[in-house]
Amino acid sequence: MNLKEIRENKHLTKKQLSELTKISYVEICNLEKFKVIQPRAKTIKALCDALNVSFDELMEENK
């Protein structure tokens, strides 16, 4: 699974995830398309918190 699959499994739209994390919609799109090579730590933490996954799970999914 990747970020998009995790998000969809949680029944969240990109817009909803953006609102939950305070990460822009465009950045969410870029992360899902692997256009961001090294996301910032605060971005990763916000995604982990919103998706209720650990850092290791999220990073493993995005390799």
Least confident range from 12-16, 20-24, 39-43, 58-62: namely 58-62
Taking the C-alpha atoms of residue 41 and residue 34, their distance in angstroms, rounded to an integer, is 16
The pLDDT value given to residue 59? 79
The crossing angle, in degrees rounded to 10, of helices 14-21 and 25-32 is: 120
12: left (phi over 0), alpha (psi -120 to 50) or beta: beta
Q: What angle do CA 45, 43, 48 make, to 5 degrees?
A: 35
Angle, alpha carbons 38-56-58 (nearest 5°): 60
Give me the number of domains the chain comprises.
Answer: 1
- The model's confidence at residue 20, banded by pLDDT at 50, 70 and 90, is very high
Query: Which range marks the domain in which residue 41 is found?
Result: 3-61
Instruction: Please determine, for residue 62, whether its predicted confidence score (pLDDT) is greater than 80.
Output: no
Give per-residue pLDDT as tens, 21-57. Answer: 999 999 999 999 989 889 999 999 999 999 999 988 8
What's the CATH number where 47 sits?
1.10.260.40
